[in-house]
Structure 1
Amino acid sequence: MLRIVADENMPALSLFDGIGQIITTPGRPLERALLNQADVLLVRSVTQVDGALLEGTPVRFVGSATIGTDHVALDELGQLGVCFAHAPGCNAMAVAEYVLQAILSWPPGELAGLSVGVIGMGNVGRRVSALVQALGMKVLAHDPWLEQAPAGATLVTLAQALAADVITLHVPLVDAGPHPTRHLLDGPRLAALGPQRLLINTSRGPVVDNTALLALLRSGTGPVTVLDVWETEPLVPPALLALAASGSPHVAGYSVEGKTRGTWMLYQALCQWCGEAASRPMPPLAPSRQWPHAITDTASMLAWLHAGYRLADDHQRLCEVVGLTPEGVHYRSEAERAAGFDLLRKRYPARHEMAGWQMAGAIAPAWQPVLSQLGAVLVR
């Protein structure tokens, strides 16, 4: 039987019953001594996995229940002969729903006809693209690895994408190679946005130069800003949070479905690695839910989305952890803020994706396409 060390924040670890013995541990920091008797390590995005962590241990399989891999030194794992698996797309819909709610909470007026610069067209970017197109918005997609635009989108340069009304970031954190993304939005690019645009970052904190962004927001020349990720995580700069339209503790993808799907994908990969049949289905998740009200405008659409999840709740919880008062004063130490950030993630309340809601009220034709993209069911 395998010996498995797993991040305590991973749900549905019972999937591995019969395959191995599970030991759960905080993902940050991970005590290396735990790996001295482990065959398998299962993590999320807060654990830095590299040769220094694994060398000299019996670990031969590492799984990350996340979309991104920038926290894993893949070359070093390969040199050690360690198999790696992750969960691309597991929480793409949860992140897309977060972005949708941010856009609907911002609008300067009619959304139809406005443009959205979607930077990074992987699983999440494509989900976001489909949702905003269903709202009648024009998608300007930028991804240097693509040669052809995704359905309904226009493939553009980075400069053209940053000229859109809304800019939303969905790229990995890359430091080397032909297309690095660290400080992709640096001071000059951020300054060019101006205060009329909406900037959403749900990718990785260092993709945006947080120091430059703070300076612009302080001067009143920065964009309307929604941040789920921060350059100095788990420390959130109080001054930047105070000036953001909304902030959250790296939880845009933290739906019950997204996290469980990530664990299930690792279960399948581990079964394949050890030559066992992956016979267990993904556990059932969302309860039956019905919405009796009509959806005819942005306000009624947001009312339904808020029945499942509210960005404002995450913002309030993060402000409390940081010790940020309405006057912009903060009173917690760095250690308290960092510990609070991780505790918010550990104790995050159950948040279900919107798929499966039974819509019993009248739905205006303009809103039916986006409801369909979200997986809602119209009751006739």
Structure 2
Amino acid sequence: MIKIVVDENIALADKAFSRIGDVVMISGREITNTVLKNADILIVRSITRVDEKLLKNTSVKFVGTATIGTDHIDLDYLNHSGIAFADAKGCNAYSVAEYVIAALLKLSIQLKFKLDEKSIGIVGVGNVGSKVAAFANALGMKVSLNDPPLQRKGDKQKFVDSDEILKCDIITLHTPLNLTGPDKSYHLFNKEKLKRIRESSILLNTSRGAVINNAELHDLIANKKLNVVLDVWEHEPEINIELLQQVSTGTAHIAGYSYEGKVNGTKLIYNSLCDFLDIEKSFRFDLNNPQKFKLQFKETENRAAGLNDLIKNIYSIEDDDKQMRKMLIMDKSERIKFFDLLRKNYPIRREFNNYQIQSDHLSSEMKSVLQKLRFNI
């Protein structure tokens, strides 16, 4: 029987992968070379570093990561060793985009500005960034796109350079973490670039923590007014606690943690593993919700306030921020455990397309906005 070692926090993993073999569910931080001695398949999340140290002298033939990023995987080693690999690119793209919109609506109320009067610079226009762009356009924002690799491939979208991005009122990062090479993104936003961001601008990072130099960001916003939203941090789960005190919103790497995002990640890896083993895909991932959740919505003159109230009924980014700030009174060892617990025990969050809007009257303009945000009218 095939032995499959799986991170215990991967949604529906036990039910799905038990159709294929014997499943061992274990904390991602406890997956070691010893654990894998007799394993054939390894399924992880981003917290498990997969390299020669982990896999040497094991019988692992397939590695899957239920994440969109692969910076925790030594792909060269897997290729050299003949180990098959699959990721879950795009699985939680809508979840992250919805998080970004929730964060911006929250800030628009707090800071008293109108989103349709703001410019947004999107760094990385892949699965997530493209959806953020679509949502931002729906809200009437001026959107600028920056993605050198995509631009070199001849993509027909209009791109701008990093200088133009730094002039935007809002900058949001959606790039993979590349440690080397022409598209190196490790510390892409370092002291020099951070200093060039305009005073009182908004900076969001939902990609990978090390895309921003966290220590230099901490030093900068001690002396410069900058509204920062961080879902990802360098050195997770041992984050910069002083930086958490400074940011406008801080969360525990949960932007992509919608129910759909999690299940889609499992589904993509399950399908890839079945293809690798040349077996039937017998487990059915049913994400359909024929009985849409109903939400009352009253259109008001202040569009952002109305949308913010609506989205808070689905997802309260304030609650995630409050939970995260409990770390401020903990000692270091408690903080590390708590960060992982916030992710492990994350409540179910459904994406916007699961909701049916009920309203006595909607203007055609508001109806269009809601539909572009994927609500059902």
Give TM-score scaled by structure 2 length. 0.94
Give the secondary-structure state (helix, strand or coil) at the position aligned to 1:105: helix
Deviation at 1:195, TM superposition (A): 2.9
1:344-379 Cα distance to aligned partner (Å, 9 max, x none): 11111111111121111133333333322332111x
Provide the residue aligned with 1:194 in structure 2: 198
Shift in CA distance, 291/272, structure 1 to aligned 2, threshold 3 Å: same
CA distance in 2, matches of 1:365, 1:273: 49
Give unpaired runs (5+ residues) of structure 2.
none
CA RMSD across the alignment: 1.7
* Equivalenced residues, count: 368
Which amino acid is 1:259 matched to?
A: K
Percent of matched pairs sharing the same residue = 39
CA distance in 1, matches of 2:299, 2:307: 6
CA distance in 1, matches of 2:76, 2:24: 26
> 2:347 aligned with 1:349, yes or no?
yes
> 2:344 aligned with 1:340, yes or no?
no
Deviation at 1:285, TM superposition (A): 6.0
Which amino acid is 2:9 matched to?
A: N
Which amino acid is 2:77 matched to?
A: E
Provide the residue aligned with 2:309 in structure 1: 303
Indicate conservation of the 8 Å contact 1:187/1:212, yes or no. yes
Deviation at 1:149, TM superposition (A): 8.5
Runs of 4+ aligned residues of structure 1 deviating over 4 Å after TM superposition are: 148-151
Provide the residue aligned with 2:257 in structure 1: 254
1:151-192 Cα distance to aligned partner (Å, 9 max, x none): 8x6300011112111100001111111110011111121111
Shift in CA distance, 127/164, structure 1 to aligned 2, threshold 3 Å: same
Correspondence list, 1:26-41, <5 A: 26-41=27-42
Shift in CA distance, 242/5, structure 1 to aligned 2, threshold 3 Å: same
Q: Which is further off, 65-74 or 209-218?
A: 209-218
Q: Which is further off, 75-84 or 290-299?
A: 290-299
Provide the residue aligned with 1:207 in structure 2: 211
Give TM-score scaled by structure 1 length. 0.93
Q: Which is further off, 185-194 or 89-98?
A: 185-194
Indicate conservation of the 8 Å contact 1:139/1:154, yes or no. no
Which amino acid is 1:309 matched to?
A: Y
CA distance in 1, matches of 2:53, 2:190: 31
1:6-36 Cα distance to aligned partner (Å, 9 max, x none): 0000011212232111100001132321111
CA distance in 2, matches of 1:96, 1:102: 10
CA distance in 2, matches of 1:307, 1:272: 40
Deviation at 1:265, TM superposition (A): 0.6
Provide the residue aligned with 1:100 in structure 2: 101
Which amino acid is 1:208 matched to?
A: I
CA distance in 2, matches of 1:369, 1:161: 28
> 2:107 aligned with 1:109, yes or no?
no
Q: Which is further off, 295-304 or 51-60?
A: 295-304
Provide the residue aligned with 2:366 in structure 1: 367
Deviation at 1:341, TM superposition (A): 0.5
Provide the residue aligned with 1:161 in structure 2: 165
1:308-357 Cα distance to aligned partner (Å, 9 max, x none): 1111111111111x1x2xxxxxx422211111101111111111111121
Give the secondary-structure state (helix, strand or coil) at the position aligned to 1:188: helix
1:228-266 Cα distance to aligned partner (Å, 9 max, x none): 011121012221111100000101001111001100111
CA distance in 2, matches of 1:307, 1:99: 16
Deviation at 1:114, TM superposition (A): 2.0
Provide the residue aligned with 1:7 in structure 2: 7
Indicate conservation of the 8 Å contact 1:126/1:150, yes or no. no
Give unpaired runs (5+ residues) of structure 1.
325-330
CA distance in 2, matches of 1:169, 1:150: 19
Indicate conservation of the 8 Å contact 1:202/1:252, yes or no. yes
> 2:142 aligned with 1:141, yes or no?
no
Indicate conservation of the 8 Å contact 2:145/2:159, yes or no. yes
Which amino acid is 2:332 matched to?
A: E
